[in-house]
Amino acid sequence: MTVPQPPEPIPGARLLFSLDPSVNYLNHGAFGAAPIGVQRAQQRLRDEMEANPLRFFTQGLVDRITHTRRHLAAFLGADPDGTALVGNTTAGVAVVLQSVGLRPGDEVLTTDHGYGAVGFAVERECRRTGAVSRTLSVPLAAGDEEVVQIVRDGLRPGRTKLLVVDQLTSATARLFPTAAIVGVAREHGVPVLVDAAHAPGMLPTTVASIGADFWVGNLHKWAYAPRGTAALVVAEQWRERIEPLAVSWEQEAGFPGRVESQGTLDYTSWLAAPVGVFTLRSLGVDRVRAHNAALAAYAQRVVGDALGVAPADLPEPGGPTVAMRLVPLPAGLATTMDAARALRARIAERLAAEVAVTTWNGRGWLRLCGQVYNTPDEYDRLAVRLPALLAQG
């Protein structure tokens, strides 16, 4: 089988970013990368804040955040009155976990594709409340119907008080049928929290159509917002129960104001976030999504071929706009988190390439991302040099 053709580059897109040209940055999914225009917009806001901090924080800040929230909620297809801006997805998850009212004997159900920090948050809340966590095993190659059936069989009505499921998994770059999963959980009276860290900007998501009780996603990854920008969307029946991680002056305002008000937090990342959405729309949202997904598919094949991985053994992400792909590493490599971190650092140091190395189900995986600032030759260079580095053990 031939390697898929890479997409045509989007003219001028690389110049929108300030990334180090001596590094092949192939891991946009980790922390994103803010376009230069977004960086400048945030700096102007910081300059305004530092010119008169008292005025910035006390005169109109709540209204400015509300306006920003409504703009971002419209982009996400979410109810602005049910949306709160938070620092990142894991912060939003923590808000939900402490607000659902877990008690001894209750159960939080997750899958083995979940994000590590979310798993830590679940474990901590279970220790605090006396609840327990249980993890469902979902095969990497499972189709949508099989995934839904695994969840259906795993629910324990009356005991399962929260189901946490990813929209697009971080460790395995797998798109889950979240709307169908939410439907099954609703049949059994189980609320669902969707970890959508990678959805905004990458996936054609309309949050309202998913129907989850809670949905939280980062805008600082694929929607080009400054880091520290995420949206927590809460169904109407839960909003009065949502409590912030720290109480501040908007506590009596209810949700979402009580969650967004965090004292002297640097709100400039939120206020500059619409510039990221504007940049994405200026490039063409559908155009960017198609480009990034096609580039990630090309990356997966050329690197997979270089490592001797048959095309049939390359995981499919399950969606036409998924801009992250996995390549299995040779057996015995990166089988623990520490080993994965060490290998990622070696690749960065010796090959001048930033990639994600993950471990899942006892095997190491290379996760490659496609973004408008990337070019096919970056993956070609990685494919040429990576086998020799991996052969060193």
What are the CA-CA distances from residue 86 to residues 60, 151, 204, 245 (Å)? Answer: 19, 28, 21, 10
Same-domain status, 171 and 298: no
Same-domain status, 75 and 124: yes
Task: Answer for the pair 182, 211: CB distance below 8 angstroms, yes or no.
Answer: yes
Same-domain status, 110 and 221: yes
pLDDT tens profile 37-84 = 999 999 999 999 999 999 999 999 999 999 999 999 999 999 999 999
Residue type (1 letter), 266: D
Give me the domain span that covers residue 373: 14-31+284-391
C-alpha span between 46 and 266 (Å, rounded): 8
- On whether residue 200 sits in a domain, the answer given is yes
The per-residue pLDDT for 274 is 98
The per-residue pLDDT for 110 is 98
Phi, psi of 337, rounded to the nearest 5 degrees: -65, -40
Computed over every residue of the chain, the mean pLDDT equals: 96
Phi-psi region of 228 (alpha: psi -120 to 50; beta: other; left: phi over 0): left
Q: What angle, rounded to 10 degrees, do the helices at 144-154 and 178-187 form?
A: 30
In this prediction, residue 4 has a pLDDT band, given cuts at 50, 70 and 90, of confident
- Choose the final residue of a domain: 278, 295, 314: 278
Q: What's the CATH number where 230 sits?
A: 3.40.640.10
Same-domain status, 265 and 308: no
Mean pLDDT over 3-23 rounds to 94
What are the CA-CA distances from residue 288 to residues 66, 137, 317, 327, 378 (Å)? Answer: 28, 33, 18, 23, 18
In this prediction, residue 1 has a pLDDT band, given cuts at 50, 70 and 90, of low
In this prediction, residue 168 has a pLDDT band, given cuts at 50, 70 and 90, of very high
- Choose the final residue of a domain: 245, 278, 311: 278
pLDDT tens profile 86-145 = 999 999 999 999 999 999 999 999 999 999 999 999 999 999 999 999 999 999 999 999
Q: What's the CATH number where 385 sits?
A: 3.90.1150.10
Closest CA to 371 of 4, 73, 3, 19: 19
Domain count, the chain: 2
Mean pLDDT over 261-274 rounds to 95
The per-residue pLDDT for 205 is 87
* Residue that the structure tokens 């001048």 belong to: 352
The per-residue pLDDT for 265 is 93
Residue type (1 letter), 241: R
**Percentage of residues of the chain with pLDDT beyond 70:** 99
In this prediction, residue 319 has a pLDDT band, given cuts at 50, 70 and 90, of confident
Cβ within 8 Å of residue 257, ≥6 positions away: 62, 66, 250
